[in-house]
Amino acid sequence: MSFAVTPRTWRRLGGFCEDYTGYGGEDTDLGFTARERGIDLVWVGGADAYHQHHPVSDPPREHVADIVRNATVFHQRWGVWPMEGWLAAFEREGLVVHTDGRWRLPATSA
């Protein structure tokens, strides 16, 4: 995700929620906060954005614990599950379980 905001808009957003740790969910949470506070999304065609290269995996297995934890934080805040594609892929691989409406690491990994 790449975004730019004015200092005034950043103050309206309140910054990133600090309940998230590690990888995943914090950017989507910021987007939900912007929507909730009536902050419009504006596309700026041709704007330059830079990103540091790093290896990626799909699904990002190396971040499974972070993603489950942060998805739970997101769900508690917004009532919906983020990153459902990754969570479902993790479930197919036996890395997470979905029971009682919650995503969890298997008991042997928790």
Digit-coded pLDDT (tens) for 43-102: 888 988 888 998 989 999 999 999 999 999 999 999 999 999 999 999 999 999 999 999
Q: Which amino acid is at 95?
A: L
Tell me how many degrees the CA angle 107-55-53 measures, rounded to the nearest 5: 135
Digit-coded pLDDT (tens) for 12-42: 999 999 999 999 999 999 999 999 999 998 8
| Burial (CB count <10 Å: 0-12, 13-18, 19+), residue 34 | middle
State whether residue 76 is helix, strand or coil. Answer: helix
State whether residue 66 is helix, strand or coil. Answer: helix
